[in-house]
Amino acid sequence: MLATALYASHAYLRRADRDGIARDDWAAHRWVAPDESLSHLAAAQWLAERVQPSQVAVRTDSLVTMVDAARNGMGVAPLLCMLADASARWVLQGATPMTKKIALIVGSLRKDSLNRKFANALVEVAPAELQFEFVEIGDLPLYNQDLDDAHTPPAAWTAFRDKLRNVDGIVFATPEYNRSMPGALKNAIDVGSRPWGHSIWNAKPVGVISASIGAVGGFAGNHNVRQTMVTLNAPVMPGPEVYIGNGSALIGEDGKVNNDKTKEVLAGWAAAYAKWVEANGRKA
């Protein structure tokens, strides 16, 4: 027996409603069943072992529905029932709706950056569905609009833009410099925001954490990033807020966070951010 399946998360359906994507017709198809138990189907039994039912809001075996959904931007996962064992796991991994690709941008360029160390700790304690990738900003030439106008952007700009265009969310870990965000970070944000109409920040769920050797934890830099991201139409998670003050006291000689409290704070923040991405995520 050969079956195919399509999965959609609750977040996708909320977006579909918000963006006016028609899905009324899908209800006419077999297996289109928000939260319905499909336990009588062999493929569903295999699936249920691997995906929490609450993560999946729509399933279908209708080819017409899948084509319709794919046209609307939804991922379609072919599931071969006769391969429904561990050897078919790659199929499921490609379809797991909760996995989110998150760019992590550190606002400091120095090799011993506290913010990078806290960012590393964040990756360690974050929920598994957040797949982080550090995206570096140190090699980006200063933004000069002439280069975009002449269609001669530096290769580093293009690589940076391409990398961020396809992520599901962005996390900034930044210090503050002179009660603002560091210039290197502002440059990176400016690079990503252009050419006009092609900003890679648009609609990307953003989270910001900050750390400082001072007591206020980089609050001003953190809020500079928030302000700029709001201007760029990125949904910025309002809270919980993380401003790590006296940061150097919280890092051990091994370069790792040296206490459970900070790890707990970061874990709580990451869990909230995962929900934020799920609720507000949309490819730009």
Which of 16, 58, 114, 265 is in the footprint of ligand FMN by CB under 6 A? Answer: 114
- For 259, phi then psi, to 5°, come to -150, 150
How many Å apart are CA 108 and CA 182, to the nearest integer?
7
CB atoms closer than 10 angstroms to residue 161: 18
Least spacing, CB of residue 172 vs ligand FMN, in Å: 12
Strand boundaries in the chain, DSSP class E: 5-8, 58-60, 76-77, 100-106, 130-134, 169-174, 206-211, 242-244
Q: Select 170 or 200, whichever has its Cβ closest to ligand FMN.
A: 170
Q: Is 214 in the site for ligand FMN (CB under 6 A)?
A: yes
The count of residues interacting with ligand FMN (CB under 6 A) is 15
Q: Is 213 in the site for ligand FMN (CB under 6 A)?
A: yes
**Which residues within the stretch 238-257 sit at the binding site for ligand FMN (CB under 6 A)?**
none
Token digits of residue 167: 């992520």
Q: Is 208 in the site for ligand FMN (CB under 6 A)?
A: no
Which of 46, 160, 177, 269 is in the footprint of ligand FMN by CB under 6 A? Answer: 177
- For 69, phi then psi, to 5°, come to -65, -40
Q: Is 176 in the site for ligand FMN (CB under 6 A)?
A: yes
Least spacing, CB of residue 186 vs ligand FMN, in Å: 13
How many Å apart are CA 176 and CA 250, to the nearest integer?
18
Q: Select 16 or 184, whichever has its Cβ closest to ligand FMN.
A: 184
Q: Is 172 in the site for ligand FMN (CB under 6 A)?
A: no
Q: Select 58 or 119, whichever has its Cβ closest to ligand FMN.
A: 119
Q: Is 108 in the site for ligand FMN (CB under 6 A)?
A: yes
Burial of 212 per CB tally in 10 Å (0-12, 13-18, 19+):
buried
Token digits of residue 161: 């833009």
Q: Select 48 or 216, whichever has its Cβ closest to ligand FMN.
A: 216
The sheet carrying 76-77 orders its strands as 58-60, 5-8, 76-77
Q: Is 115 in the site for ligand FMN (CB under 6 A)?
A: yes
Q: Select 71 or 111, whichever has its Cβ closest to ligand FMN.
A: 111
- Region from 32-40, 59-67, 109-117, 128-136 binding ligand FMN, contact rule CB under 6 A: 109-117
Q: Is 68 in the site for ligand FMN (CB under 6 A)?
A: no
Least spacing, CB of residue 160 vs ligand FMN, in Å: 20
Which of 30, 50, 89, 110 is in the footprint of ligand FMN by CB under 6 A? Answer: 110
List of residues 6+ apart from 86 with CB closer than 8 A: none
Q: Is 278 in the site for ligand FMN (CB under 6 A)?
A: no
How many Å apart are CA 272 and CA 267, to the nearest integer?
9
Handedness of CA 125, 14, 194, 71 (dihedral sign): positive
How many Å apart are CA 44 and CA 37, to the nearest integer?
9
Q: Select 99 or 227, whichever has its Cβ closest to ligand FMN.
A: 227
How many Å apart are CA 194 and CA 190, to the nearest integer?
7
Q: For binding to ligand FMN (CB under 6 A), which residues are involved?
A: 108, 110, 113-115, 175-179, 212-214, 216, 218
